[in-house]
Structure 1
Amino acid sequence: MGAGGTPAAPGLILLPRQGSPRLLGRMLLEHLGLHELPSSVTSVEALLGAAGFRPRSADRSLWEREGRAVVAGEEALEDGARLLWTFPVRWDEESIRQQVRYLGLASHDLRGSLANIRSYAALLLNGRSPLEPKVKRGLEVILRNADRSLSFSQDFFDASRADLGALACEPERQSLLPLLDAAVERQRAAATAANVALVLDVDPQAGLPDVNVDGARIQHAVEAFILYHLARAEAGEVIHLRVRPAPPHVRVEVRRDGVPLSDEDASAVFQREERALREKKLEDPLRIALARQEVEAHGGGVGVEVDRTGSTLFLTLFLAPPAELGPPASMQV
């Protein structure tokens, strides 16, 4: 489990419907390196946060503090009480490096095979050889599925690296406009097929603030927000991309005007495992959870807002500091 094995005995806390939390043995205190239970324990997040741990996975199941790591969760009991549990896991630099190397090998082998399938399908569809309509349709299906599988596998391995704190990011100073424009254009065909309008509500003449980001990561996050809305949009609805500077941050909004998300769906947008098990598929939950990891790797945050006329997914990023001017040139005489 996680980055290593777990002991046989979990750490346990019982949260009754009424009354104070009850520590079931002292194993949990040993896992968290505590002498006593924090005064206010209402959830796994509250417990781990009070103990100085921070989440290392998008679903907040893996938590870390100064080289100590635990997997944590909670279970609902029939009487309305909840049981919080913890398991320690290995979290040392060598273990992480080994996991990253393993992921690299797996990614290379899987993506290499998929890339070969895609290349041969594209080669046969290049128009140089006559194909029967049925064969052509079959090759088009192969090509689409290969592209989808390549995208999914990239998200899977990136999310796994992010869980280990090893997501590669190469920030550079740039404007948001080209990133947002590219994200919209890449999803334009999908929106058209769904009969949904996709609108970039940004005045190109007004200009946008610069940010210091890995452009590919932030573009992926924005596209993940668009695809999330597209999967739920009804024909005739509109998806807007907007930018709202609020120094020292800038907020990028992807809003769908239409039927709003339910409270249950809104609270679970970024919960990878919960959504995957509930929806019986992983592609979208993984993609949107990776978007959160990508934004958080830049020091930003994500969120969801719902009102009567629609739903908004948003991300925030730090503005790039003002460009430094060089010293004035010396006067030439």
Structure 2
Amino acid sequence: MNRFVGSVGLRTYLLVTSLVSIGAILLSLFISYRKMFLTLDEVLWLTIVTVGAAILSLIVHWIMTRPIERAIQLITKQSQQVAEGDFGGELPLIGPVEFQAMAGNFNQMSRKLNESFQQLHSSEASRRELIANVSHDLRTPLASIQSFVEALQDDLIDDPATYKRYLSTIRLETQRLSGLINDLFDLSRREAGAESFEPGAYHLDNLIVETLQSHLLQIEEKGIEVEGDIPEHLPPVSIMPSEIKRVVSNLLHNALRHSPDGGKIVIRALMPEDGYVKVTVEDQGEGIAEEEQVRLFERFYRTDQSRSRASGGSGLGLAITKSIVEIHGGEVGVSSKLGEGSLFWFTVPVVKR
């Protein structure tokens, strides 16, 4: 019996079941006649009615089971396509309500699988890009250090001033390498959720002033004018001060790096409208193309590869900035046009009273 069920389709199986039921009825009529419960005429009439009803039932049954068979065939075909990695198909909602619900659930599952595989492909591409960028960024300072060390070991440098300059370059490249490794380690810990999050009430005006003071030397060297626009009665925000200070520092550092000598940087804090304070850092730099703005906060992405590397940027600052802001429940973004400077912004939540 199990072998028979496994070798036929659902439609045939249902038809055979109906025939078995009809056969049982006819057998009952025959037994009734043999036991003298019914006369021969009664048995003949009942048999004719039963066979007629059976034929009509089989015809209706054959027609009514067609949508079910069609739905099963479509689900089977789509399942094979999914098994082969094709998630683009959609099942039509046909047949009984139960089969329509099954088709709807199948389509939803297929879409989610497609999204998951797209994310996997994207993650794999990002991983390859990350490895390539890390390899390049590690190789460059290491090659520089190696070449200068070999020159010093081979006694090729006799001039004391040149000797000191070589040592200074080695120190700078070592610091650059150390900073890159620290940024990588820091970003990995944040993405893994290893950093504890213990926010407290803090005033952003104090934090912004402290950050400006730490960049005072760079500001004076480039002759940058810094303008602050911070409301007097700005409410306290729920943050980890050291982390948000790093966010402001990263944005200010980028603004200083891309601003022309004698340029201007404006830092603003906007009063909350939806329970968040918005901080903006605006510069007069060269601006950023619109198609590049969506990738700015990716790891190792740079709008100008050669210049960014030459200026010491690791390409991780904005990725870390985004990670910190999102942990606080805020958002980060940029608005920029080529030749008109850039405005970076982030939001942090106000302390709930």
Q: TM-score, normalised by structure 1?
A: 0.54
1:183 and 2:214 equivalent? no
Bigger relative contact order, structure 1 or 2 (CA pairs below 8 A, ≥6 apart) = 1
Partner of 2:186 in structure 1? Answer: 158
Would the alpha carbon gap of residues 71 and 186 (structure 1) be closer, same or farther in structure 2, given more than 3 Å must change?
farther
Q: Is the contact between residue 184 and residue 200 of structure 1 (CA under 8 Å) also seen in structure 2? A: no
Give 1:256's match in structure 2, choosing from 280, 283, 286: 283
One-letter amino acid of the structure 1 residue matched with residue 348 of structure 2: L
Structure 1 CA distance, aligned partners of 2:300 and 2:181?
A: 17
Secondary structure, aligned partner of 1:209: coil
Distance 1:314 1:291 in 2: 11
Q: Does 1:47 align with 2:75?
A: no
* Alignment deviations for residues 99-132 of structure 1 (CA, whole Å, 9 cap, x no partner): xxxxxxxxxxxxxxxxxxxxxxxxxxxxxxxxx8
How far apart in 1 are the matches of 2:295 and 2:163?
Answer: 42
Q: Pick from 257, 268, 280 the counterpart of residue 231 of structure 1.
A: 257
When residues 177 and 244 of structure 1 are mapped into structure 2, their CA distance, relative to the original with a 3 A threshold, is same
Partner of 1:224, secondary structure, is helix
Map 1:84-99 onto structure 2 (within 5 A): none
Counterparts in 2 of 1:259 and 1:277: CA distance versus 1, 3 Å = closer
Amino acid across the alignment from 1:169: F
Partner of 1:291: 321
Q: Distance in 2 between matches of 1:243 and 1:258?
A: 21
> What percent identity do the matched residue pairs reach?
22
Query: CA 1:146–1:278 in 2, change beyond 3 Å: closer, same or farther?
Result: closer
Cα contact 2:292–2:303 (8 A) shared by 1: no
Q: Secondary structure at the match of 1:285?
A: coil
Q: Which is richer in strand? A: 1
Q: Which residue of 107, 114, 122 corresponds with 1:73?
A: 122
- How far is the alpha carbon of 1:271 from its aligned partner? 1.8
Query: What aligned pairs does 1:1-333 form with structure 2 within 5 A after superposition?
Result: 25-26=83-84, 35-36=106-107, 47=115, 71-73=120-122, 147-202=175-230, 206-247=232-273, 248-275=275-302, 281=309, 283-307=313-337, 309-322=340-353
The verdict on how the C-alpha distance between 1:278 and 1:190 changes in structure 2, with shifts beyond 3 A counting, is same
Aligned equivalents of 2:106 and 2:304: distance in 1?
Answer: 36
Q: Distance in 1 between matches of 2:300 and 2:172?
A: 26
List runs of 5+ in structure 1 lacking aligned partners.
1-22, 52-60, 62-69, 76-84, 88-131, 323-333
Please list every run of 5 or more consecutive structure 2 residues that lacks an aligned counterpart in the other structure: 1-80, 88-104, 128-159
Larger helix proportion of the pair? 2
Change (3 A) 1:251 1:40: farther
Normalised to the residue count of structure 2, the TM-score between the two structures is 0.51
Q: Tell me the matched-pair count.
A: 219
